[in-house]
Structure 1
Amino acid sequence: MSILRSRSTRRRALLAAAAVAVVAGGAGAVSGMAPATARQERAEDSVRCALPDGGQVETPVEVGLSVPDTVTAGTPLAATPSVSVVLPAAAVAALRAGGATRVSGTASADIALRQGGKDTPLPAAEVSAEAAALPADGDLTLALTGPDVLARPVEGTAALVLTGLSARLRAGADGTADQAVDCAAYSGGGELGGTTVTAAEQAAAVERPAAPAAGLKVTFDVDAVTTVAKVGADIAIKGELETFLDIFAPPPSPVTGTLRLSDVKGAYLVVFRFMPVVNSISFAEGAVTGTARVDVSQQPWVADIDTVSDISLRLYEVKQDGVDLGVGGNCRTVRPMTVALKGDVTLVPGAVSEFATTADLPAFGGCGTEEDLDPLIGGLVSGPDNPMTVRLRLKCIDTNCG
């Protein structure tokens, strides 16, 4: 397998700053790997790591990327990554002798979509494992998982290629500072899985229905707060939700609509507890679909809703310590973020209905005017289970809307 070492100086500096902020140690990667199939066959290798006591250990690493056998052109190809790192018994004993009782880990795999002899970089696959207790003896295996890697291939054949992999481990104990398990850094290449991309007309399209022209029009003011889980920062979001509800259809009644959110200017994040980042966010119009059960036999009417909103985000004016990172004007989520709302809505103008939910923040693509910043942006903010509080204030119903 060829070794790929080309990196721009600026990207090295940014990624190094991010890595140092997470762990005060080096990173290991895998080269010479065999392809993984859609059935999640494992690709195996090992890396040499330096333990805190100065000892060296060969650490087995396995990588898997579950790729579907076929995908339709124009729809996302979602591949599920997984990485496992095995600390041998000798390394476990050495860490325990140094006072450690647990080990945690993260990894970042650089993936490219290969079609027609051309490789297109994708957002990095970020995986992690919670801290695991060191066993009294024997090996310790850390299983790292994370959100899907997404690509949009064109008709033909496509493959997902590993262009680099870094793993970062931390060993620690209650009341003591964590220590890094330093590993040699490598870059590599090789296919992890392939798929057949069929023409769009060869597969049945699965689409959410468009908003109907008829029905009871219900409009809400939206006031939401989402917490970016990776950095613990709250972002306030405001906008308007326009829905159509057919209350006379057999229950559950269909709900469709459009979500329009205002730009968020100058959102402030503190990354890795010391790196201030300011950015602005815009949102494309989002489709809302779902169902509602409306009780019209009593006053006030109450709708028990079960809906999903699709929200696409664009980041711009991203600055770190006042320095523009140059993400450009097309730094967007590679797929919409889906926000599910379930519960009761009181159908009275002025009534406020509140929901607590979570949403996965997808990876970003198209970031960077001079270099690929997708892995950096995704590593900073993308990830699962971001808490959200959504308040809907009913603004008007049907013809009462001004």
Structure 2
Amino acid sequence: MKKTGGRLRALALGLASTAAVVAATIPSPASAAPILNVTYDASGTAQIASTDSEIALGPSTLSTQLDYATGDFTGSMPLPGTTTRFEVIGFIPVTADVAFVEAAPVTGTLSAGQVGSRVDGVASYHIRLSNIKIVGFPTITGSHCRTINPVTIPISSPPEGGFDLFVGGTVNGEFSIGNFQNCGLNTWLINLLIPGSGNQVEIDIANARLS
């Protein structure tokens, strides 16, 4: 009986040791890097080079999910509709309603720079136009006039950084606008006037909130 009891105790100790080794090799859920949900207020402007006009962006809400270990984030920044005004050949006034329709999540990375943290990201939207008026007269455009391909807008902090995860900061970038489709008889005119490169965007991100 003593031998049997000793063998049972040895077996129990061996199983306990094995379990301890296995437990040590399995990552604990508590040790996983946290995902932070951070929401910001966002507003800014876009300067359209081809028409020498300005489009208001926002006010909006930027909602992000940040992997605290890698600095990678995804998010969403829906933009409200607005109106743009410009002049053709210097004196013919044109107005149009503009909508930015999200084509993909906002993605990017929050990283540490030499002075402070910085953000590098990409937003993607279809630009939709409606209610186009030339010299105050409405034109037939329809409700499906938009860019053929999504407009990719890179956004980054200034080179010196200056973005604070728990505060916010300013980001800017340069983007191109491609051709439009489904704009009725105005398609040729829109594609003559609006598409092009050298467009500038600046967005102020502020009032961070953890959720």
Query: How far apart are residue 395 of structure 1 and its match?
Result: 3.4
> Residues 308-367 of structure 1: CA distance to partner in whole angstroms, max 9, x if unpaired?
110111100000011111111000011111111222421234x4x122321101211110
Residue in 1 that maps onto 2:142: 328
How far apart, in 2, do the equivalents of 1:303 and 1:317 lie? 42
How far apart, in 2, do the equivalents of 1:293 and 1:389 lie? 20
Which SS does the other structure have where 1:326 is aligned?
coil
Residue in 1 that maps onto 2:46: 226
Query: How far apart are residue 228 of structure 1 and its match?
Result: 1.2
Residue in 2 that maps onto 1:128: none
Residue in 2 that maps onto 1:273: 90
How far apart, in 2, do the equivalents of 1:378 and 1:271 lie? 13
In structure 1, the gaps of 5 or more residues are 1-213, 296-301
- Following TM superposition, where does structure 1 have runs of at least 4 consecutive aligned residues deviating by more than 4 angstroms? none
Query: For residue 247 of structure 1, what is the amino acid of its counterpart?
Result: Y
Q: Is the 8 A contact 2:53 2:84 kept in 1?
A: no
> Residues 114-145 of structure 1: CA distance to partner in whole angstroms, max 9, x if unpaired?
xxxxxxxxxxxxxxxxxxxxxxxxxxxxxxxx
Structure having the higher Rg: 2
Query: For residue 143 of structure 2, what is the amino acid of its counterpart?
Result: G
How far apart, in 2, do the equivalents of 1:303 and 1:244 lie? 17
* Identity level (%): 26
1:285 aligned to 102, 111, 122, which one?
A: 102
1:263 aligned to 48, 69, 81, which one?
A: 81
Q: Is the 8 A contact 1:358 1:386 kept in 2?
A: yes
Residue in 2 that maps onto 1:130: none
Structure-2 change in CA distance of 1:347 and 1:290 (3 Å): closer
Query: How far apart are residue 247 of structure 1 and its match?
Result: 0.9
Residue in 2 that maps onto 1:241: 62
Query: How far apart are residue 229 of structure 1 and its match?
Result: 0.5
| Residues 51-200 of structure 1: pairs in structure 2 closer than 5 A | none
How far apart, in 1, do the equivalents of 2:78 and 2:117 lie? 21
How far apart, in 1, do the equivalents of 2:109 and 2:172 lie? 18
How far apart, in 2, do the equivalents of 1:285 and 1:394 lie? 22
How far apart, in 2, do the equivalents of 1:362 and 1:396 lie? 35
How far apart, in 2, do the equivalents of 1:263 and 1:255 lie? 26
How far apart, in 1, do the equivalents of 2:132 and 2:77 lie? 25
How far apart, in 2, do the equivalents of 1:381 and 1:327 lie? 15
Query: How far apart are residue 230 of structure 1 and its match?
Result: 1.2
Residue in 2 that maps onto 1:210: none
How far apart, in 2, do the equivalents of 1:268 and 1:223 lie? 19
Q: Is the 8 A contact 2:119 2:171 kept in 1?
A: no
Which SS does the other structure have where 1:284 is aligned?
strand
How far apart, in 2, do the equivalents of 1:336 and 1:394 lie? 29
Residue in 2 that maps onto 1:134: none
How far apart, in 2, do the equivalents of 1:321 and 1:219 lie? 41
Which SS does the other structure have where 1:282 is aligned?
strand
1:390 aligned to 193, 196, 203, which one?
A: 203
Query: For residue 361 of structure 1, what is the amino acid of its counterpart?
Result: I
Query: How far apart are residue 234 of structure 1 and its match?
Result: 1.3
Cα root mean square deviation, aligned: 1.9
Is 1:359 the counterpart of 2:175? The answer is yes
Question: Relative to total residues, which structure has the larger helix share, 1 or 2?
Answer: 2
Which SS does the other structure have where 1:328 is aligned?
coil
> Residues 138-167 of structure 1: CA distance to partner in whole angstroms, max 9, x if unpaired?
xxxxxxxxxxxxxxxxxxxxxxxxxxxxxx
How far apart, in 2, do the equivalents of 1:387 and 1:285 lie? 18
In structure 2, the gaps of 5 or more residues are 1-33
Query: For residue 166 of structure 2, what is the amino acid of its counterpart?
Result: V
Q: Is the 8 A contact 1:306 1:341 kept in 2?
A: yes
How far apart, in 2, do the equivalents of 1:224 and 1:312 lie? 18
How many residue pairs were aligned?
170
Query: How far apart are residue 262 of structure 1 and its match?
Result: 0.6
Query: How far apart are residue 268 of structure 1 and its match?
Result: 1.4
How far apart, in 1, do the equivalents of 2:172 and 2:112 lie? 21
